[in-house]
Amino acid sequence: MSSKIDCIVAGHTCMDLLPTFLEGGNSIDKIIQPGKLVQVGPMVQAMGGTVPNTAGALNRLGLTVCPMGKIGDDILGQSILAKMVADGLPINGMITDENCGTSYTVVLNIPGIDRIPLHYPGVNDTFCFDDLNYELIKNSRHFHLGYPPLMYSLFSDGGDELLKIFKSVKNLGVTTSLDMARPDPQTEAGKADWEGLICQVLPFVDIFTPSIDELLYMLNRPLFEQFITSDKPLGGLTLNDLESLGKKLIAMGTHEVLIKLGEFGAYYRSETESYYTPCFQVELKGAIGSGDCTIAGFLAARLKGMSAEEALSVAVATGACNVEAVDSLSGVPGWESLLKRMAEGWRKHSKLFN
């Protein structure tokens, strides 16, 4: 058998369609209004979701990657496969379903405003245990899966399918990580028992990598409401709030927690360590895929033997490079180029917490 794959990246796969906005602002209401014609520029088409974004970023950082996602037998699906091949990614782990369409997201990426995704789940809703190639997984060092809240088969029935996947991968002796997504509160996914599901699966997850809004939505709804309505930095959350969340997740059974904090950086927690870091300073051009690339930076650093503290800094550096481009991958440099930029005095923002 060939040499080991560094990382399998499984889960959500879609096509992102990004109209280019010619003007920005700080309020969506001033830009998009009923009856108002909004003139835009060319449409940027990019792969989206955990599989293309995290796998693509890991590949750019020099790791051997195998994507495992699901697409429809349509133009969007064909475009995703063609782009993967062009980017040097293998497609032998990808599944084509003739009975359902490829997932897509129209992303309103307006300068100065957080991205607004309009999402069609498509074939992602049917992604399940049987869609994974366990021979390839057995020949890998690490398994990462992302966005189960956007994949019906993985969260329905209390997350039994997701649990089955992670139990099976751990039985193969492969380390694991899990990323989340925040569902629409009005959908079945939004009403699911996420705390119960997370508690069930985390004993089989080595590294849990949610964003702060996803985590609060699933574990602390009152604090989530404060977070999304507050005009304070990071919704008024304190370092104690992050530490409490991190400790709770460790108690549920995972070994390491990476909480993505958007423009405010990232927080790391294990049984024995905790670190916070702000983001590196960059000119923001687009935020699509920034969380996926942040995870890729962290996983790459850990797989290359870096400490948790070093990996946390690499994570926010990779995410920062991502937002310097409109699409999800073109801003991510090679591994040596990234480390060189970090070593040459690339400045971070001021710390939110002392």
pLDDT in tens, 161-190: 999 999 999 999 999 999 999 998 999 999
Minimum mean pLDDT range among 52-56, 70-74, 115-119, 314-318: 115-119
In which element (H, E) is residue 11 found?
A: strand 5-11
Q: 329 with 321: CB under 8 angstroms? A: no
At residue 33, does pLDDT exceed 60?
yes
Nearest one of 250, 257, 271 to 311, comparing CA atoms: 257
Q: Where are the domains of the chain?
A: 5-28+39-343
Instruction: Give mean pLDDT, residues 229-244.
Output: 95
Q: Are strands 70-72 and 95-97 parallel, antiparallel or unpaired?
A: parallel
Retrieve residue 142's tokens: 């690490």
At residue 28, does pLDDT exceed 60?
yes
- Residues near 255 by beta carbon (within 8 Å), at least 6 away in sequence: 206, 207, 270, 271
Retrieve residue 115's tokens: 């991205």
Q: 49 with 69: CB under 8 angstroms? A: yes
At residue 1, does pLDDT exceed 60?
no
Q: Average pLDDT, whole number, for the chain?
A: 94
Minimum mean pLDDT range among 1-10, 154-163, 228-237: 1-10
Q: Are strands 40-48 and 207-208 parallel, antiparallel or unpaired?
A: unpaired
Instruction: Give mean pLDDT, residues 255-275.
Output: 97
Cα pseudo-dihedral 5, 7, 8, 9, rounded to 10: -150
At residue 250, does pLDDT exceed 80?
yes
pLDDT value, residue 2: 55
Instruction: Give mean pLDDT, residues 33-49.
Output: 87
Structure pTM? 0.92
pLDDT value, residue 45: 84
Minimum mean pLDDT range among 32-36, 54-58, 338-342, 347-351: 32-36
What phi and psi, each to the nearest 5 degrees, are found at residue 241? Answer: -60, -45
Dump pLDDT digits (tens) for 107-143. 887 888 877 888 899 999 999 999 999 999 999 999 9
Band (pLDDT 50/70/90 cuts) for residue 47 is confident
Nearest one of 353, 146, 341 to 243, comparing CA atoms: 353
Dump pLDDT digits (tens) for 82-106. 999 998 999 999 999 999 999 998 9
Q: Which has more pLDDT, 156 or 285? A: 156
What phi and psi, each to the nearest 5 degrees, are found at residue 28? Answer: -65, -30
Q: CATH homologous superfamily for 5-28+39-343?
A: Ribokinase (3.40.1190.20)
In which element (H, E) is residue 44 found?
A: strand 40-48
